[in-house]
Amino acid sequence: MFAIVYITTSSKEESTRIGKKLVQERLSGCVNIPNDVKSFYYWEGNIEEDTESVLLVKTKTSKVEKIIKRVKELHSYENPCIVALPIINGSPEYLNWLNEEMERDSNK
């Protein structure tokens, strides 16, 4: 019923902009942006090394597809990392709060 969507971005500013949008639009009840991460990956045949920012987006599984679509609209990368991981268990009080926040009217 719930998931964490792991997203990398080019900077803390980009993570902040995307994270706030996802919460404002009630696609997520909470977004965390931990300290920057060092990333190594292949891109167009070359090994790249970057400092990136991470978003940990807590949401309902029913909203994951909308999050993927929205992040692609907002993101600066051609092919952003957007990966959903299921939440298999958690504090019932926290999960209830998370659910309630995403059910509220986003226009209020």
Q: Give the three-class secondary structure for 42.
A: strand
Write out pLDDT tens, residues 62-82.
999 999 999 999 999 999 999
Write out pLDDT tens, residues 28-50.
999 999 988 999 999 999 999 99
pTM for the whole structure: 0.91
Residue 46, Cβ neighbours under 10 Å: how many?
A: 7
Question: d(Cα 1, Cα 15) in Å, to the nearest integer?
Answer: 25
Residue 7 tokens read as 């997203």
Mean pLDDT of the chain: 95
The whole-number pLDDT of residue 107 equals 55
Q: Smallest Cα–Cα separation from 37: which of 26, 52, 23?
A: 52
Mean pLDDT for the stretch of residues 72-93? 97
